[in-house]
Structure formats: C-alpha cells, structure tokens
C-alpha cells in the first residue's frame, strides 16, 4: 500500500491555482476546515465591482427633443422653446456598438469620480486604455472599475475614494483591462 506523496489521479491541473498563485497541500485538524471557504472568498481590500452586465441592443431608436438653449448651472437664464434637433441617446453614447457593454456598479470606491453604487456605466472594449482613464479591469478573476494610473513605471488601479488604497498591479496579479468606461448613467 502506498503511503504519503501524491496519489495517482489526485494532482491539481495546471492553471487551477487560486488567485493565480501556486497552491500546496496541507494537513489541518477538521475544526479548521469550515472557515477556509469563507477565507478564500474574502477580498484583501474592498472594491467597487460590477454586479450586472448588459449588451446594448441597437435597432429601435428613440429620438428625444434637444433644446438649443443650454441649461444654466449658475444663475437662471430666460427660457426659450426653440428645439435644435432630436437626440437619440444610443447614437450619442455608443460609438462602437459591437464592442460596447453596459454594467451596473456595486460599491462606493469611485464616488469621487461621480460613479455611485447602482449607476450604469458604458464600457467600450475597442478603446486602448490610457493613463488616467477609468477602466473596467479583471483582477484576480473579478471585474472591478478603477482609474488606471502609471507612476514611475509602475501600474496601479486607483479608487476615487480615500477610504480605499491604490492597488498595484504586479507580475503576480492576474490582470487584464477589460474595457474603457466612456459614460456613466446616474439617477438623481
């Protein structure tokens, strides 16, 4: 009878590591086994995540009246009823329909950037991400929204809320920029 070592057929396949880190087998008393799944799902830092993902459907258009007179955010100005044209929000907000998605934000790490819990964001996957842009990234298997920052040759995902620390992207991070956020739809 074989004792110790790897039993045939029980090896972990390559690429099934947790959070892209190598794993190892360990012997633990059974009382320690129950909290392990909870620990594996806890994040080392809170993040704003995307709770839903939508793909816009083109076809029907809904053109709404667009008034020529700007609405003053300062002192009120006399109203004018002149309508310049009609505006379809699909055409205004979505420039590349084949590569565009919408997602709902969950969390408060981007409130300083005007992106709140429950907002819808429009993400264009065809754009090349640049320093300072808000992006949707895949970090260790999760979608997150953050500002992309390059600082002295180092790459960070930066929250827009001082409560949350910047996340440095290292060689050990499983990281991918999924798309660039082009607009946010925020209900009042």
Q: Please list the active-site residues.
A: 109, 146
Cα gap 168→140, rounded to integer Å:
12
**C-alpha closest to that of 113 among 143, 134, 144:** 134
Cα gap 49→109, rounded to integer Å:
9
Q: DSSP label at 47?
A: -
Look up tokens 């842009």; give the residue.
Answer: 133
What is the b/e burial string over 60-95, where b = at least 16 CB atoms within 10 angstroms of the residue's CB? eeeeeeeeeeeeeeeeeeeeeeeeeeeeeebeeebe
**C-alpha closest to that of 115 among 103, 128, 124, 129:** 103
118's tokens: 């429950």
Cα gap 76→69, rounded to integer Å:
12
Q: DSSP label at 45?
A: S
Look up tokens 């809320």; give the residue.
Answer: 161
């Amino acid at each position: 009878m074989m004792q110790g070592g790897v039993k045939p057929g029980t090896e972990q396949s390559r690429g099934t590591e947790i959070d892209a880190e190598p794993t190892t087998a360990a012997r633990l008393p059974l009382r320690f086994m129950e909290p392990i799944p909870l620990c594996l799902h806890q994040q080392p830092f809170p993040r704003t995540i995307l709770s839903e993902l939508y793909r816009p459907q083109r076809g029907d258009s809904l053109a709404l009246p667009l008034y020529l007179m700007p609405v003053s955010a300062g002192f009120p100005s006399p109203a004018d009823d002149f309508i310049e044209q009609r505006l379809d929000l699909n055409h205004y907000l979505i420039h590349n329909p084949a590569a565009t998605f919408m997602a709902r934000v969950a969390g408060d790490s981007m409130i300083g950037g005007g992106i709140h819990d429950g907002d819808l964001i429009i993400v264009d996957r065809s754009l090349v991400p640049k320093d300072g842009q808000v992006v949707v990234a895949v970090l260790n298997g999760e979608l997150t929204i953050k500002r992309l920052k390059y600082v002295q040759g180092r790459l960070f995902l930066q929250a827009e809320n001082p409560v949350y620390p910047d996340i440095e992207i290292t060689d050990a991070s499983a990281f991918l920029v999924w798309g660039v956020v082009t607009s946010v739809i925020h209900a009042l």
